[in-house]
């Protein structure tokens, strides 16, 4: 079986690269992945998977950080013009861009695999030293770029789907391939969890390409994901002429500035690391106008979910007090969240064993993540129902800039490695001897 999977992954390498470059060229950010998701749905359906999409796999009220209705509509039309599948896109109107493909192979374990699909709101470099620009697959969508490897994740997911479909007669159980929107800003996973996509899953596997790790090195279980809460705070006061009638004004800018300074003055916690950051403050309209409106873009973090919750609660108290000082009203809008989590030891060991059997891969069993990741909602849900979950780091030795930079790129040889490894893990879980 191992030799069979290796041969199939090697035969797919050109397709994996082509798929990655196509997705990279037509980058779409969170909740706007209409082209990407619809083409994934079509490919899965053509391979014989039972496909669920749109509202079937996303709980509407659990989605957060949505673009405006105007942007949702405009990007739907853009995706259609750029080759999105019109049949599947209908189910995705309004930002319902999740897809789950299920392959049932009789009685046996249920295996879930998650692939995130969104890009970042970033303008890609067109410098000749940047390979996507030089070779003609840089993003054509202004202000949107795959700068974190999710284009590769989608390509890997499609490759795994093809290999497992071919191996179906020799498998037992069920595989669910979960293509998740809006990972950036940690916005999409919870809505899929609340829609039930990981209910009954016994084993859950995710992966991420890392261009700072050597090619063919993998970490079979990433641990200690920190928790985070991302939110916007809107302060509303009353505008007035700053010279002629200052007493009539209620200064939202000063309320926001007071909040920003005091949010950063919050004490840290003795039980673990906590973080808070005001990344943006918007306010004001004119030199002689007392500002009536202000917006703060904020995030908290903690080494576990409880510490993050404490930091968030303290931040809300500061915001409420700052608003009260200037007689302003306060509205807090949730924009994203992720829980803390660690990979399951037993499944991480199994992934390491499979990697060793494949050969040519250098596995490390556990490693610190350092990043926030909303896959943790899926991990914790599966673990809470008695299953096992792991997230795998796959080395993709960078040939461009770092993640989340305008020059980001990765070694496309990692696509074959990831496809081969994930397919082999699936076969190891589901193989019918």
pLDDT beneath 70: ranges in the chain? 432-433
- The DSSP code sequence of 110-132 is EEEEEEE--BBS-PPP--TTSHH
For residues 41 and 180, what is the distance between their CA atoms, to the nearest angstrom? 12
For 72-81, the CB contacts below 8 A with 24+ separation are 72/31, 72/32, 75/28, 75/32, 75/34, 76/34, 78/141, 79/26, 79/28, 79/32, 79/34, 79/35, 79/38, 80/34, 80/35
Q: Which residues pair with 250 in a beta bridge?
A: 238
Residues 228 and 373: their CA atoms lie apart, in Å, by 9
Could you give the percent of the chain with pLDDT greater than 90? 95
> CA 331, CA 232: separation in Å to the nearest integer?
8
**pTM: predicted TM-score of the whole model, two decimal places:** 0.95
Query: Which tokens is 24 given?
Result: 């990279």
Domain positions in the chain are 2-225+341-430, 227-338
Task: State how far the alpha carbon of 403 is from the alpha carbons of 131, 375, 415, in Å.
Answer: 15, 18, 17
The CATH topology of domain 2-225+341-430 is Aminopeptidase (3.40.630)
3-class SS string, 147-204: CCCHHHHHHHHHHHHHHHHHHHHHECEEEEEEEECCCCCCCCHHHHHHCCCCCCCCEE
Contact 391, 335 (CB under 8 A): no
Predicted pLDDT of residue 92 = 98
Given this model, what pLDDT does residue 371 score? 84
Q: What is the DSSP letter of 245?
A: -
Cα 164 from Cα 172, distance rounded (Å): 11
Nearest in space to 146 (alpha carbons), one of 192, 191, 95, 183 = 183
| The predicted structure's pLDDT at residue 432 | 64
Query: How confident is the prediction for the chain on average, in pLDDT?
Result: 96
**pLDDT tens for residues 93-144?**
999 999 999 999 999 999 999 999 999 999 999 999 999 999 999 999 999 9
3-class DSSP state of 319: helix
Mind listing the pLDDT tens digit for each residue in 69-98? 999 999 999 999 999 999 999 999 999 999
- DSSP states along 362-430: EEES-EE--S--THHHHHHHHHHTT-EEEEEEEE---SSB-TTSTTB---THHHHHHHHHHHHHHHHHH
Fold (CATH) for 227-338: Alpha-Beta Plaits (3.30.70)
Which helix (H) or strand (E) element contains residue 337? strand 329-338
Q: Which long-range contacts (CB under 8 A, 24 or more apart) does 362-366 make?
A: 362/214, 362/216, 362/217, 362/218, 363/217, 363/218, 363/219, 363/220, 364/217, 364/218, 364/219, 364/220, 365/219, 365/220, 365/221, 366/219, 366/220, 366/221, 366/222, 366/223
pLDDT of residue 116: 98
Q: What is the DSSP letter of 237?
A: -
| pLDDT confidence of residue 202 | 98
Give residue 359's pLDDT: 93
Q: What pLDDT sits at residue 360?
A: 93
Task: Round to whole Å and give the CA distance between 121 and 187.
Answer: 14
Count the helix, strand and coil residues of the chain and give each as a percent rounded to the nearest 5.
Answer: 40, 25, 35
């Amino acid at each position: 079986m191992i030799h069979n999977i290796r041969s199939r992954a090697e035969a797919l390498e050109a397709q994996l690269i082509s798929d990655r470059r196509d997705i990279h060229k037509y980058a779409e950010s969170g909740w706007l992945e209409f082209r990407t998701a619809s083409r994934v749905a079509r490919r899965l359906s053509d391979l014989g998977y039972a496909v669920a999409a749109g509202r079937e796999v996303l709980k509407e009220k659990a989605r957060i950080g949505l673009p405006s209705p105007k942007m949702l509509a405009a990007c739907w039309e853009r995706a259609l013009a750029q080759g999105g599948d019109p049949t599947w896109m209908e189910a995705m109107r309004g930002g319902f861009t999740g897809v789950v493909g299920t392959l049932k192979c009789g009685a046996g374990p249920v295996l879930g695999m998650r692939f995130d699909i969104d890009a970042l709101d970033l303008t890609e470099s067109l410098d000749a030293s940047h390979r996507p620009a030089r070779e003609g697959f840089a993003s054509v969508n202004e202000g949107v770029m795959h700068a974190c490897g999710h284009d590769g994740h989608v390509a890997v997911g499609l490759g795994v789907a093809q290999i497992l479909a071919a191996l179906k007669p020799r498998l037992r159980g069920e595989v669910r391939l979960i293509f998740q929107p809006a990972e950036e800003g940690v916005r999409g996973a919870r809505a899929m969890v609340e829609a039930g996509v990981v209910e009954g899953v016994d084993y859950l596997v995710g992966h991420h390409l890392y261009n700072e790790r050597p090619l063919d090195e993998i970490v079979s279980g990433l641990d200690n994901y920190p928790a985070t809460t991302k939110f916007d705070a809107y302060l509303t006061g009353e505008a007035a002429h700053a010279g002629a009638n200052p007493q009539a004004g209620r200064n939202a800018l000063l309320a926001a500035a007071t909040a920003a300074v005091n949010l950063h003055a919050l004490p840290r916690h003795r039980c673990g690391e906590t973080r808070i950051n005001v990344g943006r403050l918007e306010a004001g309209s004119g030199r002689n106008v007392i500002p009536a409106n202000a917006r703060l873009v904020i995030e908290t973090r903690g080494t576990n979910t409880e510490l993050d919750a404490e930091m968030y609660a303290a931040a809300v108290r500061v915001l409420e007090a700052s608003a009260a000082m200037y007689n302003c009203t306060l509205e807090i809008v949730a924009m994203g969240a992720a829980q803390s989590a660690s990979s399951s030891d037993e499944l991480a060991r199994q992934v390491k064993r499979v990697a060793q059997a494949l050969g040519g891969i250098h596995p490390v069993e556990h490693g610190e993540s350092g990043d926030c990741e909303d896959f943790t909602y899926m991990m914790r849900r599966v673990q809470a129902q008695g299953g096992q979950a792991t997230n795998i780091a796959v080395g993709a030795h960078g040939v461009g800039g770092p993640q989340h930079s305008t020059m980001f790129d990765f070694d496309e040889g990692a696509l074959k490695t990831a496809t081969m490894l994930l397919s082999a893990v699936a076969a190891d879980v589901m193989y019918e001897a």
